[in-house]
Amino acid sequence: MTKLTRRFALAGLAGASLIGAGLTGRRPAFAQAAEGPFKLDPLPYGYDKNEPHIDAQTMELHHDKHHASYVEKLNQAVSGHGELASKPLQEILANLDSVPEDVRKAVRNNGGGHANHTMFWQVMGGNGGTPSGDLAAAIDRDLGGFEAFKTAFNQAGADQFGSGWVFVTVTGDGALALTSRPNQDTPLMDGQLVLFGNDVWEHAYYLKYQNRRAAYLDAWWNVVNWEMVAERYAAARAGTLTI
């Protein structure tokens, strides 16, 4: 799950209304994607897996509508640019200056959105708690211990003006750092690796939390999948982590 796959069809709703659609236990339904090199992986769990902290309707809208739109628009942007379309997403994002100017903004926004959300679904669907092993040791070493790190992470997310993300970056030797980015920007654009992060766009939380971003940030820790984050950490150190 640390590599972007291209085998899955684009997510889509099955024609039913989201409101009152009976989402409990449902797995994402997929329709054939529009032509293009980038595809949307299905969620690795049901829409309700993060309940009650992240509601099922938000998960369905967020994945099947918002993320799907980024993929569609990214494919539209690279269409007609064969060399660009053949490159891995992380390579494109790390070299935005080389992207043709007429599509650079679209690639930045939608490529960043695709990368960010692909990571996001991976690191949720867990039971929260605390990390262990090498990951926990790195947090203690580089981020002041788990509780201090959580406080700083939540504050960075709360302080992000408007839409954006809060991230933990990781180097090849395992060093961690906390950072935030506006809109769908990502540390990948600076040649860095992303360990994990949280989405603070309103569409990530508004149905349940309305304007209470701080409450969402606090609740989100209950759904972090620390086993997956640890896998991403090991992949970074092994040189295999992509997006």
pLDDT tens for each residue of 60-101: 999 999 999 999 999 999 999 999 999 999 999 999 999 999
Looking at residue 163, its amino acid is S
**DSSP structural state of residue 28:** P
For 108-123, the pLDDT digits (tens) are 999 999 999 999 999 9
Question: Which segments of the chain have a pLDDT < 70?
Answer: 1-34
Please choose, from the candidates 168, 153, 167, the residue with its C-alpha nearest in 3D space to the C-alpha of residue 213. Answer: 153
> What is the distance between the alpha carbons of residues 100 and 78, in angstroms, rounded to a whole number?
9
Looking at residue 40, its amino acid is L
Query: For residues 55 and 63, is the Cβ–Cβ distance under 8 A?
Result: no
Encoded tokens for 23: 């989402």
Please choose, from the candidates 33, 34, 36, 112, the residue with its C-alpha nearest in 3D space to the C-alpha of residue 80. Answer: 36
Measure the CA angle with vertex 229, ends 53 and 193; round to 5°: 115
pLDDT of residue 35: 78
Looking at residue 76, its amino acid is Q
Looking at residue 61, its amino acid is L
Please choose, from the candidates 54, 31, 76, 217, the residue with its C-alpha nearest in 3D space to the C-alpha of residue 121. Answer: 54
pLDDT of residue 25: 53
Please choose, from the candidates 73, 59, 67, 70, the residue with its C-alpha nearest in 3D space to the C-alpha of residue 28. Answer: 59
pLDDT of residue 31: 39
* Residue-range domains of the chain with CATH: 133-238 (3.55.40.20)
